[in-house]
Amino acid sequence: MLSKKMQKALCDQVTAEHYSAYLYLGMSAYFNSIDLPGFANWMYIQAQEELVHGIAIYHQIHERNGEVTLNTIEAPPKKWKSPVDVFENTCSHEQKVTASINNLVNLAIEEKDHATNNFLQWYVKEQVEEEATAYAILQKLKMMKDAPGGIFMMDKELGARVFTMPSIMAASAD
Ligand code: FEO
C-alpha cells in the first residue's frame, strides 16, 4: 500500500513525464518548422518515450492499490532560437527530471517503501542515459557551428532513430 505522500509524489511525476512528452513534441514541431526532419523524428520518439515513462508510473500506482490523480499539464515554450538552444534546454530539463526522480527515491527511503524504491531504480538508470544522450548531441551541435554541412549529416543520423518500447512498460504491464 502506498502512503498518501508517496502516492501524491508519484502522481505528480506522472504529470511531469507527460510535460516532458509535451515539451519534446513542441521541440519536434520546431524542428519540422525549420526543415530538419531527422531532428524532428528524434524529438518525436523522445516524446513517445516520455509518455511511456508516465504511463508506467500510472500502472505502478494502481498495482499498489493507489489512486491516480492527474494534474494540469502546462504548455511548453512555443519558440526556440536554434538547435543548440533546443538541446541546451533538453539537457537542463533532463537534469531537473533527474532531481525529481532522486527526490522520489529519497521519499521512498524515508517512508521505508522498498517496492517503490525498487521500481524507481529503473528511472534512476534511465536518467543517466537521458542526460548523456542529450549532452552528446549538444556537444556535437556546438562543434558543428562552423561546418554548415554538419547539421544536415546529423539530421540524417537522428532521422534513423526508431521507437522501442522502454523495458519499464513490460515490467509494469505484468
Ligand atoms: Fe522521463 Fe526524459 O525522462
pLDDT tops 90 at residue 172: no
Grid-cell match 504511463, residue found: 55
Say if ligand 1 is within 6 A of residue 54 CB. Answer: no
> In this predicted structure, what is the pLDDT of residue 147?
76
Mean pLDDT on 133-148: 89
Atom from ligand 1 closest to the CA of residue 126? 3
Per-residue pLDDT at 148 exceeds 80: no
Q: Which residues, other chains included, contact 118 with Cβ-Cβ below 8 Å and sequence gap of 6+? A: none
Residue with cell 513517445: 48
pLDDT tens digits, 54-87: 999 999 999 999 999 999 999 999 999 999 999 9
Positive or negative torsion for Cα 36, 38, 44, 50: negative
Report the C-alpha gap between 39 and 80 in whole angstroms: 14
**How far apart are the CA of 82 and the centre of ligand 1, in A?**
22
Distance of CA 137 to the CA centre of its chain: 15
Mean pLDDT within 116-143:
97
Q: Hey, is 111 helix, strand or coil?
A: coil
CA 97 to ligand 1 center in whole angstroms: 6
Q: Is the CB of 93 under 6 A from ligand 1?
A: no
Q: Ligand 1 atom 1: the closest Cα is on which residue?
A: 50
CA of 99 to the centre of ligand 1 (A): 11
Does the pLDDT value for residue 9 go beyond 60?
A: yes
Is the CB–ligand 1 distance for residue 97 below 6 Å? yes
> Which domains are assigned to the chain?
4-173 (1.20.1260.10)
Indicate whether residue 41 lines ligand 1 (CB < 6 A): no
Q: What is the pLDDT of residues 90-124, one digit of tens each?
A: 999 999 999 999 999 999 999 999 999 999 999 99
Q: What is the pLDDT of residue 146?
A: 62
Q: Is the pTM of the predicted complex or chain greater than 0.75? A: yes
Q: Is the per-residue pLDDT at 168 higher than 80?
A: yes
Helix (H), strand (E) at residue 57: helix 37-63
**Residue 174 clears pLDDT 70, i.e. is over it:** no
Residue 59 to residue 172: CA distance in whole angstroms:
6
- 94 CB within 6 A, ligand 1: yes
The verdict on the CB of residue 9 being under 6 Å from ligand 1 is no
* Distance from the alpha carbon of residue 94 to the mean position of ligand 1, in angstroms: 6
Model pLDDT, residue 173: 52
